[in-house]
Structure 1
């Protein structure tokens, strides 16, 4: 089968098209013919060796696919090696999806959708009426977080994005305003995947009792110290978030995912999907993602 693999750590240039053996499902696993594979920013960290959990080399990246199970069901699944024509998933890590649901939209709901859901519900513990700021508001997580914050009762939703086009998209998705730091008013919740200077500015923009949730470092900035005395002065909190251990908790996967699927079916949640890339152009997909040339969910199609 055709797959994408890297044999050494580095930038997008290390991603190589290979002819790999088809995976063999073990007990309680299912073989999936891949219709589409999702690309996540974490994949770029995995490729360059900076991910929180380093993988052994060589490695086929990719943590999510839409495809057809051996029994004919169309499924959305968490996997370990998704950049390929076939993948294996645990039976507990897949959900059947409708035939008419766009593969890119379904993939947007898995890693990005569950991230956005848990950022607001689990990490920030959003309360009705609070003001939420979403950084990278046109990205895969951000575009869903803007909509979910409104769905979950936020009083105001402010969007931060890097270009006028991305700011317009965030407004179209329901943000009340596009903002830059320092904010016009202090915010109760700020969701940040950028880090660096933006993280530092965001921290100073928190209202008393506010929560800055850090779930990435796309700026690839160095260590950002957080002075406890500064947190005390601000009377605020910094919350770290990583999806992988979060999903290990009972009820953290299937219930939230089914809620996201239902909201999408009802038209209350609109996943944004970038123009798909052929599987063999995974390198270009990573280049565009790192250069912030993409909007919404990035997808590879075998």
Structure 2
């Protein structure tokens, strides 16, 4: 079968389509014919062996697929690897039934990115009615859904950040009340200004470095910063517990892998979001439905932050 296989770590040049053996089902696993596989920023980190979990070569990247089993079931699933392929072996426990009226792009978008956005809003960020919420990278796969889920949770004001005017316009079209350039010299001041001059209650952050530091400074007493990635590649400044105590603020981390200890919660979240999408109440932003033969270019675009929404690959092309 055709698949993307990485045999050495490095840049986009190491991502190649090859002929490989088909996967075999094992205990608790089933093989699906993949109709679309998702592309995530984490895949570029795996390619460089810079992800949270170490990578062993050779590896077929890709942690999200939607497809059908031999008995006709339509499933979307998160995998540890193996998604960039015509067939993938998935764990039944991490698979979700997909309604027939949900398209492939949305079915994939609601996996890593949708479930992350849902968990950040509902659990890690604990967004309450009337609170102000900052969503960084609001034009991305997680951010575009988090903006909408925060509004649905009753957020009083959603402040989006995005790197270009077009991306900021997209965030506003999704329901954000204000949009800010994260490159602002005084990001703390810009976030507060977008909140009517007041500090903010919740920040959903995945950039790192100065963005994390200045977002933390923008928090109101009892505010929460939920950290779920470091796309900028720069560690934030260390945070002293006494500094958190002075303003009664919380900094917490989230990695979706840990949420799989609560499979029933994830299954409910996926079904809830799928129903919202099919009802027209939650919009999935497609970042491109690309042939797998263009995977190298897709990785380049993703790392250069030239993408919006959810990127998927069609392994049949």
> SS of 2:288's equivalent?
coil
| Aligned residues between the structures | 302
Q: Specify the alignment match of 1:292 in structure 2.
A: 305
Larger deviation, residues 150-159 vs 231-240: 231-240
Pairing of 1:246-257 with structure 2 (within 5 A): 246-257=259-270
Question: How far apart, CA to CA, are the structure 2 residues paired with 1:241 and 1:58?
Answer: 28
1:17 CA drift (Å): 1.3
Q: Specify the alignment match of 1:186 in structure 2.
A: 199
> SS of 1:129's equivalent?
coil
Pairing of 1:1-302 with structure 2 (within 5 A): 1-79=1-79, 80-180=81-181, 181-182=187-188, 183=191, 184=193, 185-222=198-235, 224-302=237-315
Question: For 1:118-162, what per-residue CA distance to the aligned partner results, in whole angstroms no more than 9, with x for missing partners?
Answer: 011111111111100000000000000000000111111110000
Q: Structure 2 regions of 5+ residues with no counterpart?
A: 182-186
> SS of 1:126's equivalent?
coil
> SS of 2:159's equivalent?
strand
Question: For 1:58-83, what per-residue CA distance to the aligned partner results, in whole angstroms no more than 9, with x for missing partners?
Answer: 11111111111111122211223100
Question: How far apart, CA to CA, are the structure 1 residues paired with 2:275 and 2:103?
Answer: 14
Question: For 1:166-201, what per-residue CA distance to the aligned partner results, in whole angstroms no more than 9, with x for missing partners?
Answer: 000000000011125222121100000101111111
1:250 CA drift (Å): 4.5
Cα distance change of structure 1 residues 71 and 250 upon mapping to structure 2, 3 Å threshold: closer
Instruction: Say if 1:204 and 1:234, in contact at 8 Å, map to a contact too.
Output: no
Larger deviation, residues 70-79 vs 14-23: 70-79
Cα distance change of structure 1 residues 250 and 29 upon mapping to structure 2, 3 Å threshold: closer
1:226 CA drift (Å): 1.3
Instruction: Say if 2:93 and 2:263, in contact at 8 Å, map to a contact too.
Output: no
Instruction: Say if 2:139 and 2:171, in contact at 8 Å, map to a contact too.
Output: yes
Question: How far apart, CA to CA, are the structure 2 residues paired with 1:224 and 1:15?
Answer: 33
> SS of 2:269's equivalent?
helix
Question: For 1:252-285, what per-residue CA distance to the aligned partner results, in whole angstroms no more than 9, with x for missing partners?
Answer: 3201111111111111100101121211221111
Cα distance change of structure 1 residues 97 and 121 upon mapping to structure 2, 3 Å threshold: same
Question: How far apart, CA to CA, are the structure 2 residues paired with 1:151 and 1:240?
Answer: 23
Question: How far apart, CA to CA, are the structure 2 residues paired with 1:151 and 1:82?
Answer: 31
Question: For 1:79-114, what per-residue CA distance to the aligned partner results, in whole angstroms no more than 9, with x for missing partners?
Answer: 231000100112222222233322111111111000
1:164 CA drift (Å): 0.3
> SS of 2:101's equivalent?
coil
Cα distance change of structure 1 residues 84 and 112 upon mapping to structure 2, 3 Å threshold: same
Larger deviation, residues 136-145 vs 37-46: 37-46
Question: How far apart, CA to CA, are the structure 2 residues paired with 1:222 and 1:144?
Answer: 25
Question: For 1:186-239, what per-residue CA distance to the aligned partner results, in whole angstroms no more than 9, with x for missing partners?
Answer: 110000010111111101000100001110000001363112232223321111
RMSD over aligned CA atoms reads 1.2
Instruction: Say if 2:32 and 2:87, in contact at 8 Å, map to a contact too.
Output: yes
Larger deviation, residues 220-229 vs 185-194: 220-229
Larger deviation, residues 56-65 vs 247-256: 247-256
Q: Structure 1 regions of 5+ residues with no counterpart?
A: none
Q: Specify the alignment match of 2:184 in structure 1.
A: none
Larger deviation, residues 292-301 vs 10-19: 10-19
Question: How far apart, CA to CA, are the structure 1 residues paired with 2:211 and 2:117?
Answer: 19
> SS of 1:128's equivalent?
coil
